[in-house]
Amino acid sequence: MEALAKRVGERLEAGREVLVTAESCTGGWAAQAVTAVTGSSAWFDRGFITYSNAAKQEVLGVRPETLRQHGAVSEETAREMARGALERSAATIALSITGVAGPGGGSAGKPVGTVCFAWSRGAEVHSETHRFAGDRESVRRQSVILALEGVLKALAGG
């Protein structure tokens, strides 16, 4: 994860881009990973930890209708989290993570390990849903890695 965060920082700095994070189930781990990199103040603006639905609404502007219709663990919510973080920061690219890390909280439709991601850059927003195996820490770790890999893809135009 350290090497990946360093690569993300190098790509952001080279492209004069600035990152913002919006996290729920990872509790700020993505922000911690990137700020562990020396010099991150040049390319990291801030991180939002919006664990509750109320925080998602109040801090990031996630619409109550989105949460009612799709739930907190949905690509729709992840997309609104990423857009909200970008709009509420000085960043040029945002990542968001929302999911069910476990061990409880899952359902038939959204079992433990279901995590939704979004990346927003300018008007573009891309989202994905993944299901990870493992315990709570493993799901969270895998989520941070995938989110950072997604930043690299977004910077490459993918």
- Report DSSP letters for 122-144, one per residue: TTEEEEEEEE--S-HHHHHHHHH
pLDDT band of 158, cuts 50, 70, 90: low
Looking at residue 97, its pLDDT comes to 98
In DSSP terms, which residues pair with 124 in a beta bridge? 121
Which residue in 67, 43, 37, 36 sits closest to 54, CA to CA?
67
Which residue in 34, 42, 43 sits closest to 6, CA to CA?
34
Q: Are strands 93-99 and 19-23 parallel, antiparallel or unpaired?
A: parallel
The dihedral of CA 72, 143, 125, 90: what is its sign? positive
pLDDT score of 21 more than 90 = yes
pLDDT band of 157, cuts 50, 70, 90: confident
pLDDT score of 128 more than 80 = yes
Q: What average pLDDT score do residues 31-53 get?
A: 98
Looking at residue 115, its pLDDT comes to 98
